[in-house]
């Protein structure tokens, strides 16, 4: 049965209302496919260029994996397991093909809700997230049910994003990259969680990248027109900005942040 955008949104927000026991019981049947808009899935390609002294504060020492874990957990959710953290994003989806300039195709806007569950062994937190995303007309901003494909001349049905839970553990090591429903099986070595923080006066920046290459869900033999090829190449880049005062405020169980997200995909 087809759901309206508002029905999808209401269903996604139920994660903020059900009990922890109910949600934990549902995970076994739901799996962890999909991609989260705030995922940090691989070790950064570079380290901070600043001296360790600039990363140490009265509450968190960001030169240690433990305090990076606490900072990341406060960014991704709320240390209070009874509270839900909501995120929002909006931007433009662009397209390009050989011999042509880049085109603005449509707008993309969505939101997420996340909670943190302390791990029983005390080594960190389990992040539990649901998210939805909607495609809007580039001029009117209306949520689209259909779209006139500027590349093929076809009118196509628009399907909003309703990701399965994107759940991962926040510990003193970098999380594993997204599995994309089991398509990405890469298992990189465990690396201590030392994020590339860049203090800039009253704010601290975090620049993070993830680069993935995994078998395509649509293989050329079955999807000769739609397939990007035997493998899919994806890059996601994030830039967060956080108040230094908030970072070192022990009373804040969740960190307000703002920033940018860029995804390059076939």
pLDDT, position 77: 96
Predicted local distance difference test score (pLDDT) of residue 33: 27
Q: What is the pLDDT of residue 34?
A: 29
Do residues 191 and 68 touch, judged by C-beta distance below 8 A?
no
Give the pLDDT of residue 203: 93
Residue of 169, 75, 188, 74 whose CA lies nearest to 122: 169
Q: Which residues, in sequence order, are CB contacts of 105 under 8 Å at separation 6+?
A: 92, 93, 94, 95, 138, 150
Number of domains composing the chain: 1
166: left (phi over 0), alpha (psi -120 to 50) or beta: beta
Residue 76 lies in domain: 5-264
What is the per-residue pLDDT for 8? Answer: 44
Please give the chain's pLDDT, 266 residues, in tens.
444 444 444 444 443 333 333 323 222 222 222 223 333 334 444 444 445 567 999 999 999 999 999 999 999 999 999 999 999 999 999 999 999 999 999 999 999 999 999 999 999 999 999 999 999 999 999 999 999 999 999 999 999 999 877 788 999 998 777 676 777 777 778 899 999 999 988 999 999 888 988 899 999 999 999 999 999 999 999 999 999 999 999 999 999 999 999 999 99
- Whole-number pLDDT of residue 184: 73
pTM, entire model: 0.74
CA distances (Å), 126 to each of 103, 154, 171, in order? 39, 43, 9
Residue partners of 163: CB distance under 8 A and separation at least 6: 33, 34, 35, 36, 130, 131, 132, 133
Predicted confidence at residue 174, as pLDDT, reads: 87
The residue count of the chain comes to 266
């Amino acid at each position: 049965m087809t759901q309206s955008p508002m029905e999808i949104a209401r269903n996604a927000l139920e994660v903020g209302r059900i009990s922890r026991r109910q949600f934990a019981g549902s995970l076994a049947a739901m799996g962890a496919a999909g991609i989260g808009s705030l995922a940090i899935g691989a070790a950064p390609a570079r380290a901070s260029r600043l001296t360790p002294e600039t990363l140490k504060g009265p509450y968190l020492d960001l030169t240690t994996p433990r305090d990076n874990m606490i900072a990341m957990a406060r960014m991704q959710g709320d240390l209070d397991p009874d509270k839900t953290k909501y995120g929002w994003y909006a931007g433009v989806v662009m397209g390009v093909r050989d011999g042509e300039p880049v085109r603005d195709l449509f707008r993309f806007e969505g939101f997420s809700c996340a909670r943190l569950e302390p791990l029983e062994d005390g080594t960190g937190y389990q992040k539990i997230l649901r998210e939805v995303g909607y495609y809007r007309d580039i001029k009117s901003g209306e949520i689209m049910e259909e779209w006139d494909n500027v590349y093929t001349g076809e009118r196509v049905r628009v399907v909003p994003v309703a990701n399965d839970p994107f759940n991962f553990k926040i510990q003193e090591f970098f999380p594993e990259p997204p599995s994309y429903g089991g398509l990405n099986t890469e298992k990189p070595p465990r690396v201590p969680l030392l994020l590339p923080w860049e203090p800039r006066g009253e704010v601290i920046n975090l620049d993070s990248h993830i680069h993935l290459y995994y078998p395509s869900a649509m293989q050329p033999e079955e999807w000769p027109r739609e397939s990007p090829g035997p493998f899919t190449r994806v890059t996601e880049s994030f830039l967060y900005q956080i108040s230094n005062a908030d970072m070192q405020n022990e009373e804040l169980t969740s960190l307000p942040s703002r920033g940018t997200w860029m995804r390059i995909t076939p």
